[in-house]
Amino acid sequence: MKTLRVGIVGFGNLGQAAENSLKQQPDMCLAGVFSRRKLSHPSYMPIAVLDEGRVEVDVLLLCGGSAKDLPKQTPHFAGQHNVVDSFDTHAAMQQHFEAAHAAATRGGKVAILAAGWDPGVFSVMRCLFEATLPQGNSASFWGPGISQGHSDALRQLPGVKDARQYTLPDEAALNAARSGKPVAKAHKRLCYVVPEEGANLQQLEHSIQTLPHYFAGYETQVVFVSQEELLQKHAGMPHAGHVVRHGSTQDAHAHLLEFSLKLENNPAFTASVLVACARAACRLHQQGATGAYSLLDIPLGLLSPQTPQELRQRIV
């Protein structure tokens, strides 16, 4: 088994978690950590080194954000290297795939995109569930887990010193989905808020609960805490979720499929999925494939360090 040289581009939470994940792989090593800003990391190299072809890498993990980094980085690097990203802006997915596909095809490389848990593992579940139970209803639930976007929105509000927001699945909605009933309000929002000194708490609670696009229309609970309590109890990055499909076969028998995950650390697991996809990207490339793929477009056995024969004997 050849050792794959894996480069990490971007070294925030996800990039750091990817470095950790590489240590768990029997067939991979870190080829470099590439960043625009100078890092004190021993494997740091300026990102420009990649364009200059001065470093040998088999695959790049693109660990930047979907808003600003990946729309540029993925098509750029897909023309030069096999790449994996966790692009998750649903509305721009098709455009992102097309740009990466064109670049990867031109460069003779493989790009695996939208790898993570959602999109990624959840996408696999939604597809497999729907294909094997074509008549039925699917629902995805997220949480309990920290939503970065909603936490940021809270912190923008006047009177808020610091805050974290948990998205929670509504238990009644989850049970409705499991019974094949329609799901209305699937999620609740729980806000831990450190108020500025002297803030009017009642007014602050009201302005949170009515904040358009974020909390208006949701069952939103606001809990005021001290800065110490927030740092002590809510500094982690846990997440969780469910994909549920209830369906019927033609004989009127009902069936239920459910996937759930519970993560102590969201970027740690996302990175672990990215790293498994890096292996798949290298193998596909070795088989002569080129272009952009999602997790639905590749055999999942390619994620494992084992061969198809080994997998058949052990876990098929």
What is the contact surface with a second copy in residues (CB under 8 A)?
17, 20-21, 23-25, 93-94, 97, 114, 119, 121, 123-128, 130-135, 249-251, 253-265, 268-269, 271-273, 276, 294-301, 303-305, 308-309, 311-313, 315-316
* Amino acid sitting at position 1: M
- Between 107 and 238, name the residue whose CB sits nearer to a second copy: 238
- Between 56 and 252, name the residue whose CB sits nearer to a second copy: 252
CB of 80 to a second copy, least distance (A): 24
Q: For the purposes of burial, counting CB atoms within 10 Å of the CB of 39, is it exposed (0-12), middle (13-18) or buried (19 or more)?
A: middle
- Between 125 and 191, name the residue whose CB sits nearer to a second copy: 125
- Between 54 and 314, name the residue whose CB sits nearer to a second copy: 314
CB of 270 to a second copy, least distance (A): 10
- How far CA 56 is from CA of 6, 80, 236, in Å, comes to 9, 11, 35
CB of 274 to a second copy, least distance (A): 9
Yes or no: say if 101 and 110 are a contact pair by the CB < 8 Å rule: no
- Between 47 and 124, name the residue whose CB sits nearer to a second copy: 124
Number of Cβ within 10 Å of residue 45's Cβ equals 17
CB of 210 to a second copy, least distance (A): 32
CB of 130 to a second copy, least distance (A): 7
Beta strands 28-35; 59-62: pairing state:
unpaired
CB of 135 to a second copy, least distance (A): 6
Which residue intervals of 56-138 are DSSP H helices?
70-78, 93-107, 121-132
- Between 45 and 257, name the residue whose CB sits nearer to a second copy: 257
CB of 195 to a second copy, least distance (A): 31
Q: Alpha-carbon distance 194 to 202, whole Å?
A: 13
Any idea what the Cα angle at residue 19 is, between residues 17 and 23, rounded to 5°?
110
- Between 218 and 259, name the residue whose CB sits nearer to a second copy: 259
Which residue intervals of 108-226 are DSSP H helices?
121-132, 148-156, 171-178, 201-209
- Between 249 and 286, name the residue whose CB sits nearer to a second copy: 249
Query: Long-range contacts: 136-139, Cβ < 8 Å, 24+?
Result: 136/180, 136/245, 136/246, 136/247, 136/248, 136/255, 137/177, 137/180, 137/182, 137/245, 137/246, 137/247, 138/243, 138/244, 138/245, 139/173, 139/177, 139/183, 139/186, 139/242, 139/243, 139/244, 139/245
CB of 32 to a second copy, least distance (A): 19
